[in-house]
Every structure is written in C-alpha cells, then in structure tokens.
Amino acid sequence: MNEVQPPARPGSGRRPSIFPQRPYAIALLAFFSLVGLALGIYALRVNPRDGIVPESSLLETSGKLSVMKEYLYGVRFGLVGIAEKFDYSDKTGDIATVRAALEGLSIQTVTVRYAPQTHTALDSKYAYHNVWALTVDNREIRTYAQSAAAWGSDNRIGPWVGLFFTVGGVLLAWVAFWSFFRRKL
C-alpha cells in the first residue's frame, strides 16, 4: 500500500508532487530548513553600523608610498618609514578613485586615517589597518564620512538576505513536515 511511485513521465497524465517520498529527502529538507532559519536569523541581526570605527579613535600618519598591491577586494599599501601596512577595502566605496590616486605615487605624500585595530588577510602574512580616510598631496580622495556611509550601505543588505533565508527555511520546513505526514498516511 505504501509503495513509492516512480516519477511521472511526460504525457503520463500524472502530475509530479512537490512533496518528496523518500526518507532521506525529507531529512535533507528538514536539515536545510534549519540551516536556512539559522542563517536568516543571523543575517536579520546585522546592524548597518557594525564594523564602522568611531572617527574619534582613528589614527593618522603620512609618508611616501612605498608599495601598493591591488587585490580582488581593495588596495593594500605601505608608506616609507612606517611599519604599519594599510588596507583600503572596496566596502568603504569608490575603489576606482582610490586606485587611480595611488598609482605611481613614489614621490607624492599620502596621508591616511586608519583604525588602530589590525586584521590579517588569508592571502598575506601581514596585519593590516583599515583605511577610513585618504588624502594624496593635500587633495582629499576619501573622507571618513564617505567611507562610513558606504560601509553602512553595504551592511543594509543583511536584513533582506535574512528575510530571504528565513522565509526559505520556513517553506522548506513546511514541505518537510507535510512530506513526513503524507508518507505516514
């Protein structure tokens, strides 16, 4: 009586069901519904101000550019005579302008306002300071206000992602629940 029906073939007259019949498929649905709910709840808790360093805590230094390396998510650079390494992330916005301003600057003065905390990158052995404001030869390239606004704007996607995963998790849980009880009937 509880035979598992083979999938409907085109033109057979039977409509395929959205409810899986096999126990492992139901278990997978239940698992992914929990994962979706967990990711959704986590993403819903993202505050747009997370990660933005208060302007009063920023440090400032100046020097000539010694090295610059572009990478997928920004620009890393160092200044002559300064031990710290700096990272201008694309999350702080307008990365093209920053790259253009820093290219070929071996003789120009660069002033950075940066976070006192460092972070290490997976692809590098160095610890970097996030740059929040950049000035090249007394010309402001990025201000703290611009960088903080871009960072917050990037974080505002969190609630939408959270809503997507939460709704998806609830729908998967519903399908798993009804598949389980439908199988028992």
Confidence bin at 113 (pLDDT 50/70/90)? very high
* Residue-level pLDDT at 145: 94
- Strand duo 59-71 + 109-120: pairing: antiparallel
Given a cut of 90, is residue 112 above it in pLDDT? yes
The fold adopted by the segment(s) 55-155 is OB fold (Dihydrolipoamide Acetyltransferase, E2P) (2.40.50)
Judge contact between 110 and 64, C-beta under 8 A.
yes
Listed as own residue / partner, the contacts of 92-95 with beta carbons closer than 8 Å and 24 or more positions apart are: 92/130, 92/131, 92/132, 92/142, 92/146, 92/147, 92/150, 92/151, 93/142, 93/146, 93/147, 93/149, 93/150, 93/151, 93/153, 94/142, 94/146, 94/150
* Residue-level pLDDT at 87: 92
pLDDT digits (tens, 9 = 90+) for 54-88: 999 999 999 998 888 888 888 999 999 999 999 99
Q: Which residues pair with 68 in a beta bridge?
A: 77
